[in-house]
A and B are shown apart, each in its own frame.
Chain A
Amino acid sequence: MVSQPIEALLVLRRPRPIAVRRLRPGDVAFRGLAWLCGIFAIGAALFLLAFLAHAGIRGLIHAGPQLLTGLRWKPEAGAFGGVPLLVGTVTSALGATVLGALPATLAAVWVTELAPKGAQKLFRRAMEIATALPSVVYGWLALEHLVPEVDGVAKLFFAMRPDVGGEGLLTSAILLAVMIAPTVTLLSLDAIGRVPPAMREASAALGATKLQTAFRVIVPHAKSGLVIATFFGFARAAGETMAVQMVIGGARQLPETLFSPTTTISTQIVMDMQNARPGTPESDVLYAMALVLLVFSSAVVLTTKAVARRGIA
């Protein structure tokens, strides 16, 4: 407020700016183009959500509360009980997080704090490639090497049951753990990298060993980042589709044992979309299920992102 008259005076005295201020048609067009692109990004997100919500809400109305409480999923008979799908998604993702996130975090701590200097670059490069590998490649590898192993173990425990085998909950959890570990490692490396070096030096100056520094100073300081990395891994595991589809067995039921075949939301969507004609209630219910998955995973990711922004600021 106070500075405004002075500003005005300056503008009066100053010779008219030549290049920057004048509105050139080229500048306006360029800005307009870039603006259009930005608007397109917003519009695309809205459009996508609107379409999914439109079909999904129709499905929700058709299926009713059984979508979240019913135990029987059989679209061809009009039974849309989503509990087996939800349970399969959450348990396999949870199992993957339990199996995969801890080694990944520990590896990140070792690489940044205790390893020889050149190790971090190699480690990062390897993990980047591991995250970029197609999920079907992981699925195929699991089908080839993991399923027979798990099958052998399963036969040890449940020799009498025909439905127990290599394809099932445990195999998917192990596979998902292998798939999310690189993601968690990379994000953890970033989180630890953000710890100011002064913390490390102060701890060393107090006489702490490298291990003490790592676990009493660095890990507590990067805690929120490490938790966020784990949550991202969880969200990725919950949304994974094709790899899980290849090894989970595709039985539309609640798993009775760790080795029983079951299903997940994304797997079931891929399988049932091939039979459902678009516009029919069966197809709409799949969109409703996708909506559930979307709300679930977006909630996880957006909350962790919000927490992360606050944590840094």
Chain B
Amino acid sequence: MTALRKPGRRGIERLLVVALAAVALALLSGYLVTLLHLVLRGGKHLVAFSPDPVPLAGSEGERGMRMALAAMIFAALTWASLSLTRPLVARFAPAWESMSRVRLAIVALVALASALTLSDHLPPFLISLPSETQAGGGIGPQLFNTVYLAVLSTVVTFPIGLGTAIYLARLSRSRWLLRSARVALDTLASLPSIVYGLFGFLVFVVKMQAGYSLFAGACVLALLNLPLVVGIVEESLRNVPREIEEASHALGATRTQTILRVTLPYAWPGIVSAMVLSVGRVFAESAPLIMTAGTTIARANAYSLDPMRGGETLAVHLWYVGSAGLAPDRAEISAGTAAALVVLVLLTNLLAARIAEKRGKPGKRLRAAVR
């Protein structure tokens, strides 16, 4: 009624809606443009394959690392293009849809072939050592350290996070313990990451005399990720329908059997996406790593698997080069490092979202059984 009596009101309202939309779209497009800018600005360093073989720098394990990187890049590309074209090909050859083994074999073959032939022609930026003062430094060791640190910290986070989540969601009988575990995890989740860095420095670097090492960094990151992982895993365990667990009990399965064979497989997508998200956080974290894993790369053991050596990750490298670097091409190095980081974080996020979408849908075995 008021709208009828005051004709001006409608116009104002429409104006307000438009203003709101403008704010929201500005926010959205701002972040999207930022992402695009980051990828385009430094992306050329990530795809500049070199026609001539890149000389080895003489670090231990360098050749293996190159082959692994080539295999990973081309396997991922093949897999992505196969899954993108799958619906299209299946329209002409319906059998293609069910030939997942063949697709896997193609991916494996491409990985093997590219590791053998292309490993010396990868973009030099991705496989060469960083340089403190001269132009042309790369991020090979940083890339390796980032991935290796993610593996190390996941090895710690996965079992402990899974166990804690199972205990909290299904096994705990004491309410007191349940509540204190929740308070503990909430506290851990609320700490600024710099506090983790101080703790890691004091405990692992100084008290345990591990020095600046990947081991110390991995332990700190595992602790940092624990609340996130437990939170997501517990939620996905709680979302498992009671009926299917009761059905398992009714068939005579023990509690352990039910959890291992019914609850966990059902909640598996949630568990995996929690792990992928925690890996993304390992890629992104910098402050705690500066204080535990250090900011240096040693030429001799740049690619060594020894967890007791120190080493910087991509994020730390970006901070160091961006704020204190001396190389003449530091702007380009920063741009390339930032692009590599953004690509890694984008991949982990999209992967986690894709896996999480499978939540609650029947898996391969069930589909086969029903058919």
Contact = CB atoms under 8 A, between A and B. Distances in A.
Nearest to B26: A103
Contact of B280 (A115, A132, A135, A185): A132
Interface of B: 3, 13, 16-17, 20-21, 23-24, 26-28, 30-32, 34-35, 38, 159-164, 166-168, 171-172, 177, 180-181, 184-199, 201-203, 206, 223, 226, 230, 249, 252-256, 259, 277, 280-281, 283-287, 290-291, 315-316, 318-319, 322-323, 331, 334, 338, 341-342, 345-346, 348-349, 353
A66 B343 CA distance: 46
B192 A103 contact: no
Contact of A266 (B13, B192, B203, B353): B192
Contacts of A204: none
A40 interface: yes
A269 B255 CA distance: 49
Contacts of A24: 254, 256
Interface of A: 18-20, 24, 26-27, 30-31, 33-38, 40-42, 44-46, 48-49, 51-52, 55, 103-104, 106-107, 109-111, 114-115, 122-123, 125-130, 132-137, 139-141, 143-144, 178, 181-182, 185, 209-211, 235, 238-242, 245-246, 266, 269-270, 273, 278-279, 286-287, 290, 293-294, 297-298, 301-302, 305
28 contacts: A27-B254, A30-B255, A35-B167, A37-B162, A37-B163, A37-B164, A42-B181, A45-B185, A110-B24, A114-B17, A115-B21, A132-B281, A132-B284, A132-B348, A137-B342, A140-B322, A178-B30, A210-B17, A239-B192, A241-B192, A269-B194, A270-B287, A278-B201, A278-B202, A293-B194, A294-B192, A297-B190, A302-B190
B167 A37 contact: yes
Nearest to B187: A45
Given A41-B185, A134-B341, A140-B318, 5 more contacts: A34-B163, A37-B160, A55-B202, A103-B26, A115-B24
A210 B322 CA distance: 47
A44 B230 CA distance: 14
Given A38-B164, A106-B23, A49 B187 contact: yes
A87 to B, nearest CB: 18
Contacts of A114: 17, 20-21
A182 B32 CA distance: 12
Nearest 6 pairs of A and B residues by beta carbon: A239-B192, A37-B163, A301-B190, A45-B184, A134-B284, A107-B24
Contacts of A127: 31
A211 B17 contact: yes
A38 B172 contact: yes
Residue of A46, A132, A240 with highest tally of chain B CB at under 10 A: A132
Given A45-B185, A136-B318, A19 B254 contact: yes
Given A36-B163, A41-B181, A273-B201, A133 B284 contact: yes
A298 B319 CA distance: 27
B26 to A, nearest CB: 8
A34 B20 CA distance: 49
B345 A35 contact: no
A38 B176 CA distance: 12
A299 to B, nearest CB: 9
A159 to B, nearest CB: 26
B210 to A, nearest CB: 13
A157 B181 CA distance: 53
B286 A31 contact: no
Contacts of A42: 177, 180-181, 184
B195 A41 contact: no
A294 B195 contact: yes
Chain A interface SS verdict (over half): helix
A308 to B, nearest CB: 11
Contacts of B256: 24, 26-27, 30-31
A137 B341 contact: yes
B28 A126 contact: yes
B20 A182 contact: no
Contacts of A241: 192-194, 286-287
Contacts of A26: 254, 256
A240 B197 CA distance: 13
A18 B338 CA distance: 60
Contact of B223 (A44, A245, A287): A44
Contacts of A293: 192, 194-195
Contacts of A20: 249, 254-255
A51 B203 contact: yes
Contacts of A49: 187
Contacts of B172: 38
Contacts of A103: 23, 26-27
Contacts of B167: 34-35, 37-38
A293 B190 CA distance: 11
Nearest to B160: A37
A130 to B, nearest CB: 4
A37 B233 CA distance: 14
Given A109-B20, A125-B353, A137-B341, A294 B181 contact: no
B17 to A, nearest CB: 6
Nearest to A287: B198
